[in-house]
């Protein structure tokens, strides 16, 4: 068992409480007896949470509007109406925030704050029924997303769609395209992304039975290819990337050596090029290969993707871990890291078959103790990847500053590696790393080693609960600390990246703005 400090869950400022960039969400301390686990217990208690004694009804828009008080709060998400009254005191963002959804279609609001939360499972006992009226245009747009969430998932087999959906073309034809060819034993799909691909790659491939799903994560955009293949192929998919020309080639091995007349039939959203945030989450079952202690309460998990999957998680993106706790799906985002801060280069054939995640175990949490107790060989559902970092923000940057607190270090870990290896224009890379105690510092020896090896890299540790023997900086983030740290030499282009608990992030963003850094010079990691 891990020796972990006691603390409330969701941890103050956990991802379940983090607001989207630039927005300030209410963070509340939940009353005792109102944790996520308590909510799950309540939903299993048989108590009538809708006031309808299990009946499902059709709700008109006028009816929905009437239920707009704390004691009687209905909301519509993707055409389904929920009574949120019982959930008020359990909502990590507070009742005030939940009341923004009262009596209205809150689909957009929900997506803005945390579309990854599995609300269908969390709120299933609060389901009042479905909207009776013709959905509004906003609702229609999201119905399409729901389809993709459901149909792209593991449980429901996607239906066939003869014609690909047409996505609006960007102004210039930057839209990727694909081609395919075959040999006696192989089928090869070539995707031309029309832009350079970073060394970490961009392809996420899932071959499940006869369905092949290929997603290219290109900055904020996602290009999807999705077929039911004409004939069976072997499990293993080989993915080769020609980074500088932006070409990704997939090689599938035919189960039977015969000529294919076509590649397959198109499935939902095949050949669409849309914003990543509008793409439904796709989950696959991974196997836990190993767990390594990073600190007294943080583990590095190595997960193996299924044989037909390859996932090249772009730098700074996160994946979602989903597990069932007492019959309720609990989902949480985790930023993918490498095995080490600067790992030895892998052979390209193996790239994308494993993912590494750093998991801090909160003893009163719902998901993390469950994960910590999973035996090697157990399976875990992994969705995504998702995230907002586009490498364009690093273009021409000469000074990269990182303000990280606790596990907020994880997106910085791959950023450091990428910046050192691929962005030679960066002259200085500085990490200010905030932790409670020295024993909480993630990858401390690797960071120190990198400092001695790499002239361009510097790390400063700040502890908020240091031992008397600590000779370094103490306290929490403040203006004075940042003033000297965030230097702006002449002819420099700076970027400040921030990640950590919500309270930390809010303070950091405020302080960085006060030091006259513009919005373009600031990137906040959020899940
Ligand atoms: P923690 O509670 O151990 O805190 C680490 C340090 O953060 C503290 O020592 C303190 O210096 C600072 N801090 C904490 N609360 C603060 C506040 N209110 N004001 C100013 N400074 C504060 O951190 P943890 O338990 O490791 O939590 C890390 C957080 O980072 C989690 O909330 C996690 O969700 C978030 N995170 C986000 C992403 C992402 O969005 N991509 C990735 C990883 C982690």
Largest CA distance in the chain: 74
User: Which atom of ligand 1 is closest in space to residue 508's alpha carbon?
Assistant: 20
Residue 486 in contact with ligand 1 by CB distance below 6 A: no
**DSSP E strand boundaries for 219-317:** 221-229, 233-242, 247-254, 264-266, 272-275, 283-293, 298-304, 309-311
pLDDT top residue among 460 and 95: 460
User: Residue 24's pLDDT is what?
Assistant: 42
User: Residue 153's pLDDT is what?
Assistant: 27
Among 500, 507, 524, say which to mutate for ligand 1: greatest number of ligand atoms within 8 Å of CB.
500
- Whether residue 112 contacts residue 25, with contact meaning beta carbons closer than 8 Å, is answered with no
List pLDDT tens digits, range 318-356.
Answer: 999 998 888 888 899 999 998 888 777 654 445 688 999
Q: Whose CA is nearest to atom 23 of ligand 1?
A: 406
List pLDDT tens digits, range 489-516.
Answer: 999 999 999 999 999 999 999 999 999 9
Q: Average pLDDT, stretch 470-498?
A: 94
User: Residue 447's pLDDT is what?
Assistant: 96
Band of pLDDT at residue 173, cut at 50, 70 and 90: confident
CA of 299 to the centre of ligand 1 (A): 16
Band of pLDDT at residue 162, cut at 50, 70 and 90: very low
- CA 98 – CA 84 distance, rounded (Å): 8
List pLDDT tens digits, range 365-410.
Answer: 888 988 989 999 999 999 989 887 778 888 899 999 999 999 999 9
Peptide bond into 456 cis (omega under 30): no
Among 25, 332, 336, 405, say which to mutate for ligand 1: greatest number of ligand atoms within 8 Å of CB.
405
- Phi/psi of residue 398, nearest 5 degrees: -105, -25
Q: Average pLDDT, stretch 109-125?
A: 80
- Select from 286, 268, 412, 425 the least CA-distant residue to 338: 412
- Phi/psi of residue 187, nearest 5 degrees: -120, 130
- Whether residue 359 contacts residue 371, with contact meaning beta carbons closer than 8 Å, is answered with yes
CA of 95 to the centre of ligand 1 (A): 23
- Residue 158, pLDDT > 80, answer no
List pLDDT tens digits, range 228-275.
Answer: 999 999 998 999 999 888 999 999 999 999 999 999 999 999 999 999
Residue 435 in contact with ligand 1 by CB distance below 6 A: yes
- Residue 413, pLDDT > 50, answer yes
DSSP code at position 443: T
Q: Whose CA is nearest to atom 33 of ligand 1?
A: 14
CA of 22 to the centre of ligand 1 (A): 17
- Residue 289, pLDDT > 50, answer yes
CA torsion, ordered 481, 483, 485, 488, to nearest 10 deg: 170
List pLDDT tens digits, range 449-473.
Answer: 999 999 999 999 999 999 999 999 9
Q: What pTM does this model have? A: 0.76
List pLDDT tens digits, range 31-68.
Answer: 888 888 888 888 888 888 998 888 888 899 999 999 99
Which helix (H) or strand (E) segment is 462 a member of? strand 457-463
Q: Whose CA is nearest to atom 22 of ligand 1?
A: 504
- Whether residue 369 contacts residue 421, with contact meaning beta carbons closer than 8 Å, is answered with no
In three-state form (DSSP H/G/I as H, E/B as E, the rest C), the secondary structure along 346-415 is: CCHHHCCCEEEEEEECCCCCCHHHHHHCCCCCCEEEEEEEECCCCHHHHCCCCEEEEEEEHHHHHHHHHH
Residue 503 in contact with ligand 1 by CB distance below 6 A: yes
**DSSP E strand boundaries for 48-100:** 57-59, 68-69, 72-77, 80-83
CA of 12 to the centre of ligand 1 (A): 8
- CA 58 – CA 72 distance, rounded (Å): 17
- CA 144 – CA 140 distance, rounded (Å): 7
């Amino acid at each position: 068992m891990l020796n972990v400090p006691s603390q409330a869950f969701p941890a103050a400022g956990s991802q379940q409480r983090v607001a989207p960039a630039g927005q300030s969400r209410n963070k509340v301390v939940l009353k005792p007896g109102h944790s996520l686990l308590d909510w799950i217990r309540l939903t299993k208690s048989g108590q009538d949470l809708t006031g309808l004694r299990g009946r499902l009804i059709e709700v008109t828009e006028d009816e929905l509007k009437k239920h707009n008080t704390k004691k009687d709060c209905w909301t519509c998400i993707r055409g389904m109406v929920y009574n949120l009254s019982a959930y008020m005191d359990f909502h990590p963002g507070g009742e005030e925030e939940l009341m923004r959804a009262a009596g209205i279609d809150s689909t957009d609001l929900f997506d803005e704050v945390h579309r990854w939360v599995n609300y269908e499972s969390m709120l299933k006992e609060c389901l009042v029924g479905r909207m009776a009226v013709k959905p509004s245009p906003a609702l229609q747009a999201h119905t399409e997303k729901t389809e993709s969430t459901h149909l792209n998932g593991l449980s429901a087999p996607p239906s066939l769609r003869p014609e690909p959906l047409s996505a609006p073309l960007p102004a210039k034809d930057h839209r990727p395209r694909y081609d395919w060819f075959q040999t006696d034993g192989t089928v090869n799909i070539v995707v031309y992304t029309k832009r350079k691909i970073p060394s970490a790659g961009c392809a996420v491939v899932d071959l499940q039975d006869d369905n092949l799903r290929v997603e290219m994560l290109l900055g904020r955009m996602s290009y999807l290819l999705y077929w039911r293949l004409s004939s069976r192929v072997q499990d293993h998919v080989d993915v080769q990337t020609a980074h500088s020309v932006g070409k990704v080639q997939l090689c599938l091995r035919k189960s039977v050596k015969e000529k294919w007349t076509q590649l397959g039939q198109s499935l939902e959203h095949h050949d669409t090029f849309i914003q990543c945030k509008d793409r439904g989450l796709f989950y696959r079952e991974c196997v836990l290969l190993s767990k390594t202690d990073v600190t007294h309460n943080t583990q590095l998990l190595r997960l193996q993707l299924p044989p037909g999957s390859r996932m090249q998680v772009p730098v700074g993106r996160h994946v979602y871990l989903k597990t069932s706790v007492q019959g309720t799906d609990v989902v949480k985002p985790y930023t993918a890291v490498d095995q080490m801060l600067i790992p030895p280069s892998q052979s390209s054939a193996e790239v994308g078959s494993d993912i590494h995640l750093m998991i801090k175990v909160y003893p009163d949490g719902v998901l993390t103790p469950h994960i910590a107790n999973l035996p090697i060989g157990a399976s875990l559902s992994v969705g995504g990847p998702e995230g907002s970092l586009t490498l364009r923000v690093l273009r021409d940057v000469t000074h990269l500053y990182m303000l990280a607190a606790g596990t907020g270090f994880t997106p910085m870990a791959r950023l450091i590696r990428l910046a050192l290896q691929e962005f030679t224009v960066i002259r200085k890379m500085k990490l200010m790393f905030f932790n409670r105690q020295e024993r909480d510092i993630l990858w401390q020896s690797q960071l120190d080693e990198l400092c001695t090896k790499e002239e361009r890299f510097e790390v400063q540790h700040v502890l908020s609960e240091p031992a008397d023997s600590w000779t370094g900086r103490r306290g929490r983030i403040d203006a004075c600390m940042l003033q000297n740290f965030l230097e702006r030499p002449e002819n420099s282009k700076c970027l400040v990246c921030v990640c950590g608990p919500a309270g930390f992030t809010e303070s950091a963003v405020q302080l960085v703005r006060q030091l006259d850094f513009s919005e373009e010079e600031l990137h906040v990691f959020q899940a």
